[in-house]
Amino acid sequence: MELMNKLTILTDGAKYDAACTSSGSDRPGSTVAAGICHSFTSDGRCISLLKVLMSNNCIYNCKYCVNSASSDVPRATFTPDELAELTTQFYRRNYIEGLFLSSGVVKNPDHTMELMINALAILRHRHNFWGYIHAKTIPGASSELVHSLGLLVDRLSVNIELPSEKSLTLLAPNKTKDSILAPMQQIKNELAENTHALSKYKNAPTFASAGQATQMIIGATEDTDHRIITLASALYKKYSLKRVFYSAYIPVMENSLLPAVASPPPLLREHRLYQADFLMRQYEFASDEILSEDAPNLNPYLDPKCNWAINNMHFFPIDVNTASMRDLLRVPGIGPTSARRIVVARREGRLGFDELKRIGVVLKRAKYFILTKDSTAGLRLGKDLTARALIDPKIFAFGAEQLSLFDGSPIPKLNKALPHIVETHSISDAVEEAVLCLASNL
Amino acid sequence: MPCIKPLEKCDSAIYVYDGSFHGFLCCVYERFYSEVMPVDIVASDDEPITLYAVHTVLTNAEKAERVLASISEKISPEARHLIETVFLSCLKQKELLMLNFLLRGYREGRRILSKLGDPDVAPLLKAQKHLLGESHLLKGFIRFSDYDGSLAATITPKNFILPFIASHFTQRFSNENLLIFDKTHKAALVYQNRRMEIISVDNIEFPPISEEEGRYQAMWKRFYATVSIQARENLRCRMTLMPKRYWENMLEVQDLC
């Protein structure tokens, strides 16, 4: 088969995987610690890596997957040489930062891993490739192969696939919780050992220096946001993951257990989950501050930080001229960068709204929660008015339809939670709906 | 602008300099040692038609180096670095803004750099951020074509970013020969036989591409088209993250311009 065709088929099969960052690895001259985006797709996602499958010839039958054995799609497999050459040529033209390699299960997990290792070894050793490599381990492959793969790549990941064991049994009958968690544990242990070895011997081989990540599909099952965030939090703690990626389920397969093929992916919900994830990783929020058993789903109208602030009005207002870094980070409209800048700038004089604006604080949101040089009493609007002012304008760009997808399930019965939103057309109507809905929730 | 000398003696004029960094530093020197106060400072190639008197500032390397040393000494090395960076940015009236910053800095010392919200400081920090941001974007957005084993690319950035991306590309492609042509600033980064220099050039004509090069370009375009997910289409988001002004030099989207 012609290389162009293979590339098309194997890209098409890989595109639903969310992760595409090249961050976290810092090998001078070859990678940039913060990662580089080389392009953006028409859906606004960063293209950093050549994201392809080794093969889409899969023996498994995961119900949500476009490459499952029973799916009617053209099949292809790269030879290790083809893949290595293609990656090298794309890299030297500066199209990509490196390779993101995953695969369908060809024959059996070990055989698939051997194919991948073979291709990566050619790339690293014969082509002297120093770019970034992110590889997915295949659930069920032997630990020796996971080890060999780890020595060739910057980042390893094992997809957790679905947020609960129940969903996994239902939709991915060939994968088990153990076949996913065992390699995750192994990678965690090897990463720790490797850090130790590197601190002792300069020339110790590096094992996945950019750590491990995972991804889960959301909106294909009835798992709540609370369950997802709690799981993510546990994964960060227990397996020292660098990132958890959330992938809004796009119905590609007809199956009674899954949302219908034409239904839209829950993009707004995915967006909120990423925001919640950021709060845990960069804003020192605990998962139980974001969601609880009683309020198990994220608020579609407010971003999770605003939502927390509105439900914790007693915490505010805080004085930007004296507050600690941790407290500053709790203010909607102040992120890690502006918080750091505030701490530097306030040493040289008290800050007012003008200074904060020039520093980069989003006053539109922050003004309800802070005291400054020129506002020592604060704007005390009360919960309702503040909530109204903070409604996320992005939700209207996502479209009203997205709101109906919010309650944790793709199945239309859950639309009853927000019955009239779907018919709302104008933005002002939608704002009124949002306010009503918020008022009843608060 | 505060005037040190008594008002009646104080003439004001537009400073015109040769556009070089040394030239700008001589304008700073001139501000202190001449009777003429600047109302604006412009490079000679965009000299304005104006009612103000024009005061031509001659470039003198010795004076320039004295000013440069004084910035590190009297303010801080970070201030010098900021000035060197902002000089290459596309900030409007950058010369006058930099001069104001320096005048404040000479009075207040290193503290000036902590005043992140100050109207004399914030615009420079913003311009620096813009320049570094554009450098970062272009580290990804540059597309090389292979011409007989050498790699060449054209860019049209707003800021003069070649010095800020040079080490990234020469380290990454240390065994290759590279050419990056900055069409906006009529300059080129040339890296040959492990030696890098930035030269000024008016224009560079590239030869037609080889068949093999065409094949890789076609595969890249195909990859780009295939990896997008139709059900998630969000053109506005793409535009925010990858502003349209970069598209003309990017293979995969230049047809959409």
For chain A, helix (H) and strand (E) counts, in that order, are 18, 10
Instruction: Tell me the DSSP string of A372-396.
Output: BTTBSS-----HHHHHHHH--THHH
Token look-up 């499958």 returns A53
Chain B: residue nearest A34 by CA?
B136
Domains contained in chain B, number:
3
**C-alpha to C-alpha distance for A359 and B121, rounded to whole angstroms:** 10
Is residue B77 one of the residues assigned to a domain? yes
Q: Specify the DSSP class assigned to residue A317.
A: -
**C-alpha to C-alpha distance for A290 and A295, rounded to whole angstroms:** 9
Looking at the structure, do residues B104 and B173 belong to the same domain, yes or no? Answer: no
- Taking a contact as any Cβ pair under 8 Å apart, which residues of chain B between 156 and 185 contact chain A? 168, 171-174, 176
CB pair distance less than 8 Å for A356 and B117: yes
Q: Does residue A416 carry a pLDDT above 70?
A: no
Q: Which of A92, A265, A354 sits opposite B117 (nearest CB)?
A: A354
Is residue B137 one of the residues assigned to a domain? no
Is residue B68 one of the residues assigned to a domain? yes
Is residue B246 one of the residues assigned to a domain? yes
CB pair distance less than 8 Å for B235 and A42: yes
Is residue B2 one of the residues assigned to a domain? no
Q: Give B11 to chain A, closest Cα distance, Å.
A: 33
Q: Does residue A422 carry a pLDDT above 50?
A: no
Looking at the structure, do residues B13 and B127 belong to the same domain, yes or no? Answer: yes
Strands of B94-215, DSSP E? 145-147, 150-155, 178-182, 187-192, 195-200
State what percent of residues in chain A have pLDDT above 90: 58
Looking at the structure, do residues B41 and B71 belong to the same domain, yes or no? Answer: yes
How far is CA A82 from its chain centroid? 30
Q: Does residue A27 carry a pLDDT above 80?
A: no
CB pair distance less than 8 Å for B226 and A93: no
Q: How many CB atoms lie within 10 A of CB B5?
A: 10
Looking at the structure, do residues B23 and B127 belong to the same domain, yes or no? Answer: yes
pLDDT tens sequence across B167-203: 999 999 999 999 999 999 999 999 999 999 999 999 9
CB pair distance less than 8 Å for A265 and B232: yes
Looking at the structure, do residues B25 and B107 belong to the same domain, yes or no? Answer: yes
Residues of B in contact with A348 (CB under 8 A): 111, 114-115
- Domains annotated on chain A, with CATH: 3-290 (3.20.20.70), 318-379 (no CATH), 387-441 (no CATH)
Instruction: Tell me the DSSP string of B200-255.
Output: E-S--PPPPPPHHHHHHHHHHHHHHHHHS-GGG--HHHHHHHS-GGGGGG-TTTGG
Q: How many CB atoms lie within 10 A of CB A376?
A: 10
Could you tell me if B242 lies within 8 Å of chain A, comparing CB atoms?
yes
CB A232 within 8 A of CB A286: no
Q: What is the pTM of this model?
A: 0.89
Looking at the structure, do residues B222 and B202 belong to the same domain, yes or no? Answer: no
Boundaries of domain holding B170: 142-207
Q: Does residue A346 carry a pLDDT above 70?
A: yes
CB A248 within 8 A of CB A265: yes
ipTM value: 0.91
Is residue B147 one of the residues assigned to a domain? yes
Looking at the structure, do residues B94 and B157 belong to the same domain, yes or no? Answer: no
Q: Does residue B160 carry a pLDDT above 70?
A: yes
